[in-house]
Homo-oligomer: A and B are copies of this chain.
Amino acid sequence: MRLGRIIGKMWATAKVESLKGIRFHVMQPLDHHSKPEGKPIVAIDAIGAGEGEMVFWVGGGDAILAIPDRTLPSDASIIGIVDQLNTAESNL
């Protein structure tokens, strides 16, 4: 799972049937210090996150499993909102 912050929205009227009613967020991937990492992408929202929130998401073939209807064509799905993140890099 990776971290991200919701920074925008995408609207699309013409799309494959299975994506009707699905919300698309523009999301900035973040590293484990909550700093931007890489470029923003478009992600499907599986939990009802709002703009500005810090979330975690899955990429690749797993993404579709985040929503019960498994025929969703998605390669980036937001599956949770981050409450807290503790990292002790001194362990390395």
Contacts and interface: CB of A to CB of B under 8 A. Distances in A.
A56 B43 CA distance: 11
Of the listed residues A7, A73, A76, A86, the one surrounded by the most CB atoms of chain B closer than 10 A to its CB is A73
Given A58-B73, A71-B65, A85-B26, A79 B42 contact: no
A79 B28 CA distance: 22
Number of copies: 5
Given A62-B63, A79-B16, A32 B40 contact: yes
A56 B1 contact: no
A91 B31 contact: no
A26 B19 contact: no
A71 B64 CA distance: 10
Contacts of A65: 18, 64, 71-73
